[in-house]
Amino acid sequence: MKELVFVGLGLNDEFGLTLKGLEEIKTADVVFMETYTSRMPDFNLQHFEELCGKKIQFITRQVLEEENGKCLLAAAEFGKVVFLVPGDPFIATTHVTLRIDAEKIGVRTRVVHGISIMSAIVSLSGLHNYKFGKTVTVPFPETSAETPYNVIAQNKKLGLHTLCLLDLREPENRYLTINQAFKTLQIIEEQKQEKIVTPDTVVVGIARAGSDYPTLKAGFINDLTVFDFGPPPYSLIFPGDLHFMEVDALVSFADAPVEFKRLFK
């Protein structure tokens, strides 16, 4: 059977895999995995291979983006291939092209979903899912991209929350910190002067979502720049208009200051 199955791994370790995903791996002829789109801090490869009874082959960004995933497609021509992706396979990654290419050459594709940062931040923060606008990635400072700032601004005008995913370069073991993200956005603020990212801007910082001990802290940028979030991965939320229940949730779950009580509409 020509088949390519995209399986989501979840957010933190090998225990985030669903039972459905585990069964797909056990019945695969070849199993590939990528780790460049997100870090899984507590993932134990040896235990994972023992759990599923398969040898895992790692795939780099170059293989997927510059070589168009040819090795996965070639393997799928002769049997069932499982491709393991952190989080949910198509939420915050760029693997859609690979799936399209597979279908074009007659390889059947399926998706086994995993826990995504999109759902995890809602569960952790207590913010309402339907009030999130467009998600954006904040890149490393040398990129000098205005897109994150513009997306936050557009969402705020609509009263919507913005989830910011912070850039990472897995081969270099380099992860954009929350404080670095603030600095990057504040440089653009100095140029645009739209008062979107100021010391008094309300933000929510999240570290290691999906782990047993994630860090969640709500406050003003001025306060969070000196807060220790611990190890990566990191995410940021720029809230839009807050409902009183959302404010209560941030106070209860994210140690938001009492001043947040005046923010709801």
Token pair listed for 220: 């003003």
Above pLDDT 90, what percent of the chain?
A: 67
Q: In this predicted model, what pLDDT tens digit does every residue of 119-138 receive, in sequence order?
A: 899 999 999 999 999 999 99
How crowded is residue 19: how many other Cβ atoms within 10 Å of its Cβ?
A: 8
Q: Which domain holds residue 58?
A: 3-112
Q: End-to-end CA distance of the chain, in Å?
A: 56
> Whose structure tokens read 């009183």?
244
Q: Which of 56, 88, 112 is the last residue of a domain?
A: 112
Widest CA span in the chain: 62
Backbone phi, then psi, for 62, in 5-degree steps?
Answer: -60, -45
Q: Which of 88, 112, 136 is the last residue of a domain?
A: 112
Residue 17's CATH number: 3.40.1010.10
Q: In this predicted model, what pLDDT tens digit does every residue of 244-258 receive, in sequence order?
A: 999 999 999 999 998
* Whether 122 and 156 share a structural domain: yes
* Whether 126 and 252 share a structural domain: yes
* Whether 104 and 190 share a structural domain: no
Taking residues 56-79, what's their average pLDDT?
Answer: 87
Which residue has better confidence, 96 or 155?
A: 155
pLDDT of residue 250: 94
Q: In this predicted model, what pLDDT tens digit does every residue of 94-119 receive, in sequence order?
A: 788 899 999 999 999 999 999 888 88
d(CA 189, CA 209): 28
In degrees, rounded to 5, the angle at the alpha carbon of residue 254 between the alpha carbons of residues 195 and 219 is: 25
Averaged pLDDT of the chain: 90
Q: Which of 67, 90, 112 is the last residue of a domain?
A: 112
Q: How many domains does one find in the chain? A: 2
Query: Of 120, 238, 133, 130, nearest to 182 (Cα)?
Result: 238
How crowded is residue 74: how many other Cβ atoms within 10 Å of its Cβ?
A: 12
